[in-house]
Chains A and B, each alone.
Chain A
Amino acid sequence: MLAVTDLIKSYPSPEGGRVEIVNVASFRLAAGEQLALRGESGSGKTTFLNLIAGILAADAGTVEIDGTAMTALSEPKRDRLRADKLGYIFQTFNLLQGYTVLENVLLGMSFGPRGADRAHAREMLGRVGLGHRLDHFPNQLSTGQQQRVAVARALANRPKLVLADEPTGNLDRKHSREALALIREVSKEQGAALLLVSHDEEVLGAFENRSDFAALNRARQEVRS
């Protein structure tokens, strides 16, 4: 489902050189597999997810999703692939504040291959327990409810791969457990692979399959220009 090979990303440093943030030689995730990556803040795990999602362009290396080399695609095609095959759950949820709950999910769907399917969006929101809050705006919901909207939006397009970046970072323990269970459950129902990154041991402990991002990432050496 996901194959990452020799993926490198660096940024200019204030001193004039470049700082390498991500350098992953090889990473694989099978279809339907659920994996948690442990990583401290600033370890480059969000950059890693952004590279997989095609939000960031890599300096070198390849990202292959469901047989398509994301890194070889033009930006519009990367956008299309992201909309078609990926669901992204952000730490800060990134809900559109001026849009209703239903519209948030519909917009997430509208860039994908099936388009904005209102019935399916309602069904997804019902699945995460928000069928009665469709016309509410995000700021009218609790933090936990907002996270559930983000889950519904990420999964409404029936993605092949779900990326979750510290998805419970803004939730208390109770809501964190609920949100995590929901993400895993709905991903499983839809047959989507799940790649979750977190620094929270409790979250990581919920996964049978987990790995250390620090072991995966060979970066952190400054590259002189």
Chain B
Amino acid sequence: MTLPLIVYRSLRQHALSTIVTAGGIALACGLLMCVWMVKTQAQAAFTSTTSGFDAVLGARGSKLQLVLNAIFHLEASPGNVAAADFEMIKRHPMIKTAIPLAVGDNLRGFRLVGTAPELFTNVEYAPGKKFTVRAGGKVFAADAKEALAGSFAAQRLGLKVGDTFRPFHGLAFDPKAEHADDFKVTGILEPTNTPVDRVIWIPLRGLQTMSGHDPKAATDVSAVLLQLRTPMAGLQLDMMYNKQGNRLTFAYPVGAIVAELFGKIAWFDQVLALVAYLVALVAAGSVLASIYNSMSARRRDLAILRALGARRRTVFGAVLAEAAAIGALGAAVGFAVYYGLFAGVAAVIRAETGVVLDLAAKHPVLWICPLAMIGLCALGGIVPAWKAYRTPVAETLAPVS
């Protein structure tokens, strides 16, 4: 009872500095966990998001740009793939599925992507998971001016089955660039937690023959999503397109290409880690400063405890426990900070990329960080605890005239 009571009363007595210090630690702890979790989960989510495809074929250019454009619906298309090239890869014996994509239009900032209806009927976007259209809707017909809206895009744009809209030219929304074509929404996709949710899907022909588009490119596609029959096929097609050919780019495997992106920004991880460690050190320093500064106010209390029979190690332990308790309080509130921050960041990432981060995900950093913070705070308590340890009892208790 003794130690918890001493710690509790001391924290109460110095409530303001306790709250301020614990608040700082909560921010530090929450930030640390959030940075780590967002980084880890974003990397895992981006590298595992393949929408069910092994590779992407596109115009000659950067593989990363091709993958970002075709899988994540970010960035501009590096160029077009001629219809003949699409037909050739489609009939290639090593290809299981080839789904064409055409991009270049939007609806109030959300991308319109032209594709084949087979994408939604034949392809598993994740193992064992196929696209599902919400009740009352259906996939567009290949030769109709119809649209199937991703769940997030439909929610944001307020689209429902039966609505009609006119697309806008370009990937960025320009109210003056409206096309004359009317598309009718025939269905809304159930959420997939992939970038597919942010797209409004229309038939390939619908996008290729949109009024105002270049008729000469009316049979071209922007990219082709590919499922391979064997992993060996990837190596052979890589040789064929990337090393021997010079017109097209074969991006394979999709996950590894995205991982390259994270590899290129690994230095940023190190900077983040350094910042995180510094934040943790500052938090521990704040505990040291906070308790140390209050030592002159509590010297008398400590001397009284010693006069009552408390050993030096008891008062040392009490101050150390108090520092650790501030750390624990901060770490506990840090979880609230973490969940708040993470939810905000996850919402932004979802809105911008369609990639969903899991708020309930477990990771060792979620227990290592709070424990390390408590340990650091206890470490920060050593100096004031030593001061408490050395408190001279008789001199401190001498009556002040």
Contact = CB atoms under 8 A, between A and B. Distances in A.
Contact of A83 (B6, B9, B309, B393): B309
Nearest to A98: B13
Interface residues of A, number: 32
Contacts, number: 79
B363 interface: no
B13 A91 contact: no
Interface string B368-401: 0000000000000000000000000110011100
Contacts of A103: 5, 9
Contacts of A95: 304
Contact of B310 (A97, A98, A111): A111
A108 B2 CA distance: 10
Interface string A122-164: 0000000000000000000000000000000100000000000
B9 A53 contact: no
Interface string A81-116: 011100010111011111100010011101110001
Interface stretch (A72-80, A199-207, A213-221): A72-80
Contacts of B310: 79, 83, 111
A91 B399 contact: yes
A111 B397 contact: no
B305 interface: yes
A112 B309 contact: yes
Interface in B1-42: 1-2, 5-6, 9-10, 12-13
A50 B394 contact: yes
A111 B309 contact: yes
B229 interface: no
A91 B401 CA distance: 12
Interface of B: 1-2, 5-6, 9-10, 12-13, 300-301, 304-314, 393-394, 397-399
Interface of A: 46-47, 50, 53, 55-56, 75-76, 79-80, 82-84, 88, 90-92, 94-99, 103, 106-108, 110-112, 116, 153
15 contacts: A47-B394, A50-B394, A53-B307, A55-B397, A76-B312, A84-B309, A88-B307, A92-B397, A96-B305, A98-B12, A99-B5, A103-B5, A103-B9, A106-B5, A111-B2
Given A83-B308, A84-B309, A96-B9, 12 more contacts: A55-B397, A56-B393, A75-B311, A80-B309, A82-B307, A83-B310, A88-B308, A92-B397, A94-B304, A95-B304, A103-B5, A107-B5
